[in-house]
Amino acid sequence: MVISTSFCHAQNIDIQKGLELISNEKYLEAAINLKNIDTSGHSTYDKALWSFYLGYSYNFIDEQDKAYLTMIHSKTLFNKINKIDDVKDCNLQLLKIVRHQNNLKIDTAPIIKELEDYIKYKNDPDPDILFTIYLDIGSTLLKTGFPIEARKTFEKSYQLSKSIKDSLQMAFDNMNLGSVYKDLGKYETSLNYTKAGLPYLLKIKDTTNIAYNYNNQAEAYKYLKNYDLSKLYFQKAHAMNIKSNKTKSKIIFYENMADLYAKENEFKLAYQYQNKYKALSDSINDKEQDLKIQDYKTKYQTAEKEKEILRLSNENLEIEAKRSESEAKRKENQNLAIGLGGSLALGSIIAFLIFKNTKRKQKLAEQEKILESQKLATVLKEQELKAIDAMIEGQEKERQRIANDLHDDLGGLMATVKLHFNALKDKDSPELYEKTNNLIEEAYQKVRSVAHAKNSGVIAKQGLLKAVRHMAEKISASNEIQIDVLDHGLDNRLENSLELTSFRIIQELITNVIKHAEASEATIHLTNHEDSINIMVEDNGKGFNPSQVTKTKKGMGISSIDKRVEHLDGKLTIESEKNKGTTVIIDIPL
């Protein structure tokens, strides 16, 4: 199974395709597939199982309101047929859904109590189940303002993972304890725990949790007032390939970056990241999702209370049937009064909902005005980018013209000179002839190689990713250095001039590694974040002091790279320490 549950496949509903899509992390396709399945006429268990997986998929595509509704429905059905293990899994998912909402205020204590009762009921649960329960209870306690209780829960998990030597779980436990100590204001301790969780994640290349780890390190450095390292780790987090809840994760990164720049008194950048945070948050209707989840929870609690009232009423009716007619009449009048009171309460609720709806419409109108101004700014920016693209395209055409001239004119000339020198063969100096011929041949081959290198058509024909992979394979074939390429989101081609410039930048960076780093390994990360492309090049070489790289004295090809990045309105960051390698991060907006 793709998630830690005790579920079996439904007997009658065909959800196999949906499960395959979930296992391949294609959550949007899974949600669409499952939503289109007709569940009418099937058993309660099958309907509950279908609803669970649909809610699970919604949560991963950041539609938490739909996820909450379908998960509550699944839990209700499993409760109805007394499937305790399955109710537990629904509760775990409900806690995950609630935690993804940054500003949602909701009482999760009943769900936590149900999970704690489940542990007692099972007496000695499977460790994997315990880990999942500890994680969700601890994370929820931390999110809702109970860090001491969260720490106790995560410490239980750590003792268990340590006792059975579960390296991956120990990494998660360390990260979670790091988050707790951050909330407790113990930032050095937080940083130590967070760093302890990173090596195993790097080993298994868990890019999503590596991103979260970098974010948590950045937060610790921020509160320790080491703003340079904080910025670096935020950028490293943003550059990683996050496979689930991508939008909500970027919202957290942007909010943290805005806070960092505000602390550093860089208010212009703080404002930019605050705008990014707000735009992304508005794009998924985060606040509207909060309202819907609150509404669904209220309705669920009301439905449960109504069931209990109905049960008690039925019992009372049996008793009342045995009493006198006068007592029955009194009871009837009392029920009528309760009904009227309920009607008044319902009228109040409807009036309140109408008021909330009106306020929401007013807010949407204000947001539309803001979007109009943002559209105007976007149009102006697009005009500026078109001018830059035209300039870059002109540069590439000029390079191509020079390459053609080298090959056609100078290359042809050298071939002619070679023919003329063949006449030397008839002279009395064969040794001179041989030397001259060799020199001319060498010059001719150099001209051809320069023309070929300058006018390589790999980018135009195959695209950025294939060109970078081809370059990495050729360099790695020398056995002097191993270069790996990790990519995400580059299934489609980018705009041609952007691909060309990005390839030149990566070429220059790898050239620097080969010339100066004395490295045995290097990794090129390419990530398309839809609104930006991130290039990150890491090596395990000798490193250097980045403070020596200034605007006026960059050296090692950095100046050329910086100019290209600046042309694209991008940002360049360098992290390096002596004998600890170098990381270069470039963020280019699309």
Residues 291-314 have pLDDT tens digits of 565 565 565 556 555 554 444 444
Residue 475 is predicted with a pLDDT of 83
Token pair, residue 11, equals 């007997």
Is there a single domain that holds both residue 126 and residue 227? yes
Q: Minimal CA–CA distance to 305: which of 334, 274, 345, 276? A: 345
**How confident is the model at residue 400, as a pLDDT?**
65
262 is a domain residue: no
User: Under 8 Å CB-to-CB from 468, ≥6 apart: which residues?
Assistant: 485, 503, 506, 524, 526
| Assigned domain for 380 exists | no
Nearest-angstrom CA–CA distance, 324 and 247: 65
Q: Are residues 357 and 415 in the same domain?
A: no
Residues 188 and 337 in one domain: no
238 within domain boundaries: yes
CA dist 537 and 198 (Å) reads 19
Tokens of 76: 């209700």
Q: Give the tens place of pLDDT for each residue, 362-419.
A: 666 667 766 665 665 555 545 545 544 555 566 566 666 666 656 555 665 565 556 5
Residue 239 has what pLDDT? 84
Contact (Cβ atoms closer than 8 angstroms) between residue 433 and residue 424: yes
Q: Do 239 and 188 share a domain, yes or no?
A: yes
Q: CATH number of the domain at 101, please.
A: 1.25.40.10
**DSSP assignment of 285-306, as one string?**
THHHHHHHHHHHHHHHHHHHHH
**Residue 379 located in a structural domain:** no
Q: 118 is written with which tokens?
A: 């489940």
- Which residues does the chain have with pLDDT short of 70? 1-13, 102-105, 244-245, 248, 283-366, 369-430, 432-433, 435-436, 439, 446-461, 548-557
Tell me if residue 582 falls in helix, strand or coil.
Answer: strand
DSSP labels, 500-522: HHHHHHHHHHHHHIIIII--SEE
Whether residue 411 sits in one domain with residue 317: no
90 near 98, Cβ under 8 Å?
Answer: no
Distance of alpha carbon 106 from alpha carbon 571, whole angstroms? 40
C-beta separation of 584 from 549 below 8 A: no
CATH number of residue 507's parent domain:
3.30.565.10
Domain with 49, as residue range(s), is 16-246
Task: Look at the chain and report how many structural domains it folds into.
Answer: 4
Residues 124 and 44 both lie in one domain: yes
Phi first, then psi, for residue 589 (nearest 5°) are -70, 145
Same domain, 467 and 431: no
Query: 562: helix, coil or strand?
Result: helix
Q: Is residue 276 part of a domain?
A: no
My answer on whether 539 and 484 are in the same domain is yes
How many other C-beta atoms lie within 10 A of the C-beta of residue 328?
Answer: 13
Q: Are residues 410 and 367 in the same domain?
A: no
- Final residue belonging to a domain, choices 246, 278, 298: 246
Question: Does residue 120 belong to any structural domain of this protein?
Answer: yes
Q: Can you give the pLDDT at residue 305?
A: 52
Closest CA to 129 of 82, 86, 193: 86
State the DSSP H helix or E strand holding residue 538, giving kind and residue range, or none if neither: strand 532-539
Do residues 231 and 335 both lie within one domain? no
Question: Is residue 385 in some structural domain?
Answer: no
152-156, long-range: CB within 8 Å, 24+ apart, which pairs? Answer: 154/180
Residue 301 lies in a domain: yes
Burial (CB count within 10 angstroms: exposed 0-12, middle 13-18, buried 19+), residue 119:
middle
Q: Are residues 362 and 478 in the same domain?
A: no
Are the beta carbons of 56 and 94 closer than 8 angstroms? no
Domain end call among 413, 436, 454: 454
Q: What is the C-alpha to C-alpha distance for residues 233 and 562, in angstroms, rounded to an integer?
A: 20
What's the confidence (pLDDT) of residue 240? 83
Domain boundary among 433, 454, 475: 454
- Alpha-carbon distance 448 to 444, whole Å? 6
Question: Domain check: are 310 and 441 in the same one?
Answer: no
DSSP string, 420-469: HHGGGGGSS-HHHHHHHHHHHHHHHHHHHHHHHHHT--HHHHH-HHHHHH
Two structure tokens written together for 266: 């860089």
